[in-house]
C-alpha cells in the first residue's frame, strides 16, 4: 500500500524529533524557536532525510519570509497562500489559511482574497483563450486609476 | 493562418471603439473614465462581442478590485499579479507588472514578490511529492512566530 | 541559440515530407487524406522522429476523435480546445480555435465557451481556497434544475 | 487544527440556512428554486460571508450557465467538468460528474469525455515540449476533414 | 452522493475481473502477466468501460514504458513520477512513488528527486514572473559545465 | 508599454555584467566559471537586483544540481526539463532542451522523453477525472514487472 495513514509523509520515512542528531537537531530547535511552536512540522521532518537540504531550504525560507522587507509579512503570507491555492497543495493551503487568520485576517478578508483569486483565475484563462495581444499603450490593472 | 498579427485577439473579432454603440459604448466610456486611460484595453474589446457579459464582468471586477476593502488596493494588485504568474497568462502578467510598478513597487520589491512565489511554488510541489500529512497541531507559516 | 526561427520545432529536427519513407510516408499520406489538407502539420512531422510512436499516436487520436461517438464531433473539438486553453498550449489553441470556427462556431458562440471557462476556472480556485467539503446530498451543477 | 471535519469549508465559517437573513436568505431561496434542490450547496454558504459577492457570483453563473445559448446546456456542463478536471478541483469534479450523468451521459459517454481529455492533455504537453511552431497553413483539428 | 467509498472510481462503474469477457478479459490477463501482479489496478478496470480504448491505451503505455529504449526504465519511471507530481494526481503519485522505490531508489534518492522538482518549480515561476528573454548565446543548464 | 524588446527581462531592470560590483561581481564570475560559459544568463542578471537572493539561489541550485548524487547529472537535467515543460516556462524549456542535447540525448531520446510526458500527462488527467481510488494492493508502475 502506498499510503500509511499513521505516517507524516507517505513517500519517505521522516526523521522524528527524538531521533534527530547533529545538524538536524540544531535546525529542529531553530525551527521551533523561530516559529514559536513546540513541534517540528511534518514538512521539515521529511526534508531532514538530507540534512544539508533541510538547512539550505530553511535558510532560504527565512531569508525570504523572515523579515518584513518591502512587502511586509502579512502581504508575503497572503502571496504564499495564493501560490498554494494555485498549485493545489492541500497541506500548504491548510498551513497558510491558519497563518493569515492568526495574522489578523477575518473571514470577510479571507473571502476577499478568494474573490480576487476567482476573478483573475477566470480572466487569465479568458485571455489565454482569446489569445489577447499586448495593448499598444500601458494601463494599470482593473481596479481604477489609483 | 490562426494568428493575424494586426488583431487584438487572434480568436474573435473585437468591437472597436468607433463601432461601439448602446451598452457597449457606455461601458467603454466607464472603463476609460474609471481606469484613467484614453483607450479601451484589448481584453474588454473582445468581451464586447457579448455586451451583457462585458457588463457583468466589468461590474464584478469593479466590485472586487475597485475599492480598498480589507486587503487594500496594493495587496489586491499583488494577488492579481501572483495569480497571473501561476496561470502563465502573458497578457495579464504584462498588465499587472505595470500596475504594481505604477502603484509604487520598485524593482527590489517586485523581485521580493517573485522570491516568495519561487519559494512557495517549490515547497508546494515538494509537499505534493512527499504526500505530507496535515500536522496534528496548528502552526502559522514559515515566517516566524509573528 | 535554442530557437531557430525557421524550424517547425525548436526541440527536434522534424522529418520533412520529401524525406519521408516507409511507414512515415504512409502515415503522412493518411493524415493528409483524413484531415483533408495538403500538408503535414508540424506536430506530426516532429513525432515522425519515432515512426512507431507517430503511428500509435495517430491511431489513438483517430480512434478517439475520428468518429462521432456519444458526444459528437463538435463537442469533442470544444473539449479539445478547452483542454488546450487550460494547459496553456499556444500551438493547440491556435489549431482548435480554427477547428471549432470551421465547424460552425461564430464569435458569439466562441466567446460563450470562454465565458464558461472563465466562470469555472474562477469557481475551481475559489473552492480549492475554501477547502469546500463534498455536499451531503447530490446536486447537478449551477445551471438550473434541467 | 486547520481542518474541522464537521465543517462545510475548512477555511471560513459558512452562513447556515437557518441563520440567513435579507439578501442572503433571498439568494438562498432562489438557488434552491432554480436548481431544484432542497438545500444550499456548501459553496454558496461560504460565499454568503460577503452577501454582495454571493449575489454577483450567482447572477454571473446564471447568466452564463442558466440558458441554452449557442452551445446548449449539456455542452456547457461538459466544459464545466473539463475545466474542473484540468484545475484539479475535487469538489467541482464531484458536482459536475453528477451533473452530466443526470443530464444523460452514461458511463460510455463519460469515459469518451475522459478519452478526449487524456489525448489532448498529452498532446498539449508534447507540443509545449517540442516547442512546435504555428503551421504556415491553417488546419482544423485532428478529427478528420469534417 | 458523488462519492461511493466502496467504489474503485467515483465517476464510472468499473468492469470487475470476474465480469470481464472477450477482449477485456484478454487484456486483463496480459496486464497481470506483464506487470507481475495478481490483480487488475483500478485505473484499467475503469478504462475497460470502452474495451477498444483499454486496449489502445495499454498498448501505447507498453510501447513507451515497456522496454528500455534510450532513457532506461528507471529514468522513465522517474519522469512518470515527476509528471504526476506536477499534475497533482494523487493516485499516480502513489503508484509511481512505489514504483521507483521498488526499482531501487532509497529515501535519500527520492528526496533528491523532490529537491530538483522544488528548485525548478520555483525557478520556472520566477522566470515566468520576470518575463526573462531567451539568452543570445546558448548555455547548458544550471549544473555546471559538464 | 510592458515589453521592451531590448531588455533581458520585461519586469525588472537587470544588473549588467559591466555594472556588477562586490558580491554580485563575485557570483557572476563563479557562474561563468562553474557553467563554462563566457556570459551571465539573463535569469541570474535579474536575480542580482537582490544580491543576497542571487547568492542563496545560486548556492541552492549548485547544491542540488552541481554534483552527481544518487540520480546522476543526466537524470537531474531530464527532470529539470520535465518540470519546465509541465510549468510551461518557455525560457527554461529552451535552456534545458539545449542542456540535455549537449549532455548526449539525440532527437530519438528527446522524443522518448516527450512520449513519457505525453502518456502520463494524459493518464494523470484521466485518473483525476475518474476519481480513481488507491488500489488495495501495491503495484509498480505501468512498465512491466521489472
pLDDT in tens, A1-20: 334 445 788 899 999 999 99
The answer to whether residue F5 scores a pLDDT higher than 50 is no
Q: Which residues of A touch E (CB under 8 A)?
A: 2-3, 10-13, 46-47, 49-50, 53, 57, 83, 87-88
Distance from CA of B26 to the nearest CA of E (A): 34
Across the interface, which of D81, D97, D118 has its CB nearest the CB of F126? D118
Q: Give E5's pLDDT tier (boundaries 50, 70, 90).
A: very low
Question: What is the pLDDT averaged over residues E65-71?
Answer: 86
- Across chain C, mean pLDDT equals 92
The answer to whether residue F139 scores a pLDDT higher than 50 is yes
Q: Give D80's pLDDT tier (boundaries 50, 70, 90).
A: very high
Question: What is the pLDDT averaged over residues F35-40?
Answer: 95
Beta bridge partners of A132: B9
pLDDT at position D44, please?
97
CA distance F58 to E46: 46
Q: Give B1's pLDDT tier (boundaries 50, 70, 90).
A: very low
CA distance A62 to A45: 17
pLDDT at position A7, please?
75
CA distance F2 to B96: 9
pLDDT at position D72, please?
92
Give the rounded percent of residues in chain D with a pLDDT score beyond 90: 82
CA distance B120 to C63: 41
A60 vs F contacts (CB less than 8 Å): 56-57, 60
**Of B9-18, B95-104, F65-74, which range is least confident?**
F65-74
The answer to whether residue A102 scores a pLDDT higher than 70 is yes
Question: What is the pLDDT averaged over residues D51-64?
Answer: 95
Distance from CA of C41 to the nearest CA of E (A): 22
| Nearest partner of E113 among A58, C119, B66, F82, judged by Cα | F82
Distance from CA of A124 to the nearest CA of C (A): 8
CB contact under 8 A, D41 and C135: yes
Distance of CA E96 to the CA centre of its chain: 6
CA distance F14 to F21: 13
**Of A92-106, C4-18, F70-84, which range is least confident?**
C4-18
User: Can you spell out the DSSP letters for F5-44?
Assistant: TTSSBSSS----GGG--HHHHHHHHHHHHHHT-SS--HHH
Looking at chain A, which residue has its C-alpha nearest residue D60? Answer: A119
Looking at chain B, which residue has its C-alpha nearest residue C114? Answer: B47
| Nearest partner of E130 among F3, F37, F24, judged by Cα | F3
The answer to whether residue F1 scores a pLDDT higher than 60 is no
pLDDT in tens, E10-36: 899 999 999 999 999 999 999 999 999
E118 vs A contacts (CB less than 8 Å): 57
Helix (H, G, I), strand (E, B) or coil at D136: coil
Question: What is the pLDDT averaged over residues C67-88?
Answer: 94
Q: Give B4's pLDDT tier (boundaries 50, 70, 90).
A: very low
The answer to whether residue F9 scores a pLDDT higher than 80 is yes
Chains that touch F (3 or more CB pairs under 8 A): A, B, C, D, E
Give the rounded percent of residues in chain B with a pLDDT score beyond 90: 82
The answer to whether residue D4 scores a pLDDT higher than 90 is no
Distance from CA of A35 to the nearest CA of E (A): 22
The answer to whether residue D18 scores a pLDDT higher than 80 is yes
What's the pTM?
0.95
pLDDT in tens, A42-92: 999 999 999 999 999 999 999 999 877 899 999 999 999 999 999 999 999
- Across chain F, mean pLDDT equals 92
Distance of CA C140 to the CA centre of its chain: 27
CB contact under 8 A, A65 and B9: no
Amino acid at each position: 500500500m502506498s499510503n500509511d495513514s499513521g505516517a507524516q509523509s507517505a513517500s519517505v520515512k521522516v526523521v522524528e524529533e527524538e531521533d534527530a542528531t547533529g545538524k538536524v537537531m540544531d535546525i529542529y530547535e531553530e525551527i521551533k524557536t523561530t516559529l514559536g511552536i513546540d513541534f517540528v512540522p511534518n514538512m521539515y521532518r521529511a526534508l531532514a532525510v538530507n540534512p544539508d537540504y533541510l538547512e539550505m531550504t530553511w535558510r532560504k525560507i527565512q531569508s525570504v519570509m523572515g523579515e518584513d522587507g518591502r512587502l511586509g509579512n502579512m502581504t508575503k503570507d497572503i502571496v504564499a497562500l495564493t501560490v498554494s491555492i494555485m498549485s493545489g497543495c492541500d497541506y500548504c493551503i491548510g498551513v497558510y489559511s491558519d497563518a493569515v487568520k492568526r495574522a489578523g485576517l477575518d473571514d470577510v478578508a479571507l473571502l476577499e482574497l478568494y474573490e480576487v483569486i476567482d476573478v483573475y483565475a477566470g480572466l487569465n484563462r479568458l485571455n489565454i483563450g482569446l489569445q489577447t495581444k499586448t495593448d499598444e499603450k500601458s494601463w494599470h490593472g482593473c481596479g481604477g486609476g489609483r
